[in-house]
């Protein structure tokens, strides 16, 4: 998101409230409409509507982490999501297992673990957008390629030996060959691009609305569009995506929460990652939670835009 964007009047609370659709932009200049949130409980610590410049907000919290070894045999899910009732979605929280250094200048838009153990990262902001391969443990950038100065990088995913990377408003999906990130012919699409992940033989793509588009990974044609709903209400501002076990985990932009989505669009669980936000010092309010990758050992990698620290976490029930 662009740093001159006005902070939404309220943040998203997914445990006891529902979101309604919004046409706000992921990273744009225009002011988003108010996000209507229904009671019974209002979120605490709502944003001040008087703040027009997110860069004016800073935090001084020190990061904390707990170093433990992940269990390779452990399932990612506290409960099999295919058994969950979307009318009564549970709220899961995160347990920090380990923390990793991260480039604090990287405006993270997408994360994915590659087969060789490196992390694929897409970064945004015009003039600073990149696609890069990163060493998880050290945060060292092993390889990178830059987008043009007019392109705003968004979510990315691997398809075979190729990376597909969305752009926000340019209606172009950049393509890069692994492992050297050689540029290939791009795909074209209509509308905005936010998040992207591969689920078996199709891509899931978000555009900042409450819809997910299922696309052909070879042609990028739209196969199906599903409306994402939590307890029957649309979940607006879907952002970075990770496809895992026939479900999609989605960041909800400008919130501390993620949602777990079935293929038909039903949100069957929510994830409260506010502990990570509390632990991470950031300079601007636009440096929000964003970026989720399955580490393949029962844990997730979670990060944020220009975060100096990323986290390996385990999903746990409250």
Residue-wise pLDDT for 51-69, tens only, equals 222 222 233 344 343 334 4
State pLDDT tens for residues 128-148.
999 999 999 999 999 999 999
Residue 6: per-residue pLDDT: 30
Cβ–Cβ under 8 Å, residues 5 and 27? yes
Mean pLDDT lowest for which of 5-19, 133-147, 206-220?
A: 5-19
Residue 4: per-residue pLDDT: 35
Task: Tell me what the pLDDT averaged over the chain comes to.
Answer: 82
pLDDT tier, 74 (very low <50, low <70, confident <90, very high otherwise) = confident
Residue 132: per-residue pLDDT: 97
Strand order in the sheet with 211-215: 196-199, 202-206, 211-215, 222-227
Residue 318: per-residue pLDDT: 72
pLDDT tier, 44 (very low <50, low <70, confident <90, very high otherwise) = very low
Strand order in the sheet with 108-113: 108-113, 119-123, 130-134, 141-146
User: Buried b / exposed e across 131-168, counting CB within 10 Å, b at 16+?
Assistant: bbbbebeebeeeeebebeeebbbbbbbbeeeebbbbbb
Mean pLDDT lowest for which of 68-82, 271-285, 293-307?
A: 68-82
Q: How much is the pTM?
A: 0.80
Among residues of the chain, what percentage have pLDDT more than 90? 74
Mean pLDDT lowest for which of 23-32, 115-124, 190-199, 211-220?
A: 23-32
65-317 in CATH: which number?
2.120.10.30
Residue 34: per-residue pLDDT: 34
Mean pLDDT lowest for which of 18-32, 45-59, 232-246?
A: 45-59
For residue 317, list its beta bridge partners.
92
Q: Mean per-residue pLDDT for 10-23? A: 37
pLDDT tier, 32 (very low <50, low <70, confident <90, very high otherwise) = very low
Residue 63: per-residue pLDDT: 37
Residue 73: per-residue pLDDT: 56
Give the contacts of 115 (CB within 8 A, at least 6 positions apart).
none
Question: What phi, psi does 136 have (nearest 5°)?
Answer: -60, -45
Domain borders along the chain are: 65-317
Residue 75: per-residue pLDDT: 86
Residue 70: per-residue pLDDT: 52
Closest CA to 289 of 307, 271, 301: 307
Among residues of the chain, what percentage have pLDDT more than 70? 77
Q: Mean per-residue pLDDT for 201-212? A: 96
Pairing of strands 108-113, 119-123: antiparallel
* d(C-alpha 283, C-alpha 305), whole Å: 11
Residue 56: per-residue pLDDT: 28
Residue 38: per-residue pLDDT: 30
Residue 51: per-residue pLDDT: 29
Cβ–Cβ under 8 Å, residues 183 and 174? yes
- Report the 10 Å Cβ neighbour count for 245: 14
Better-predicted residue by pLDDT, 52 or 108: 108
| Residue 187: pLDDT over 60 | yes
Biggest CA-to-CA distance, the chain: 52
Residue 273: per-residue pLDDT: 97
Residue 71: per-residue pLDDT: 56
Q: Mean per-residue pLDDT for 239-253? A: 96
Closest CA to 270 of 261, 260, 281: 260
């Amino acid at each position: 998101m662009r740093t001159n964007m006005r902070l939404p009047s309220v943040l998203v609370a997914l445990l006891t409230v529902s979101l309604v659709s919004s046409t706000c932009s992921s990273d744009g200049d225009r002011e988003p409409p108010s996000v209507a949130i229904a009671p019974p409980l209002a979120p605490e610590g709502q944003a001040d509507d008087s703040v027009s410049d997110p860069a004016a907000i800073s935090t001084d919290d020190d990061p904390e982490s707990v170093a433990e070894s992940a269990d390779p045999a452990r399932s990612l899910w506290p409960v099999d999501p295919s058994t969950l009732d979307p009318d009564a979605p549970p709220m899961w929280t995160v347990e920090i297992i380990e923390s990793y250094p991260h480039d604090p200048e990287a405006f993270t838009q997408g994360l994915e673990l590659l087969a060789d153990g490196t992390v694929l990262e897409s970064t945004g902001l015009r003039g600073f957008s990149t696609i890069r391969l990163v060493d998880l443990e050290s945060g060292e950038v092993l390889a990178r390629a830059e987008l043009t100065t007019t392109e705003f990088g968004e979510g990315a995913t691997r398809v075979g030996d190729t990376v597909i990377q969305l752009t926000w408003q340019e209606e172009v999906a950049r393509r890069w060959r692994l492992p050297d990130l050689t540029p290939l012919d791009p795909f074209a699409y209509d509308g905005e691009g936010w998040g992207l992940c591969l689920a078996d033989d199709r891509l899931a793509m978000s555009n900042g609305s409450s819809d997910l588009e299922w696309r052909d990974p070879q042609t990028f044609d739209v196969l199906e569009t599903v409306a994402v709903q939590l307890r029957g209400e649309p979940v607006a501002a879907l952002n970075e995506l990770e496809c895992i076990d026939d479900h999609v985990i989605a960041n909800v932009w400008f919130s501390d929460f993620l949602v777990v989505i079935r293929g038909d669009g039903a949100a069957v669980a929510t994830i409260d990652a506010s502990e990570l936000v509390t632990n991470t010092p950031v300079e601007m309010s636009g440096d929000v939670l964003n970026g989720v990758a399955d580490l393949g050992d029962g844990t997730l990698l979670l990060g944020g835009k220009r975060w100096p620290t990323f986290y390996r976490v385990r999903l746990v029930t409250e």
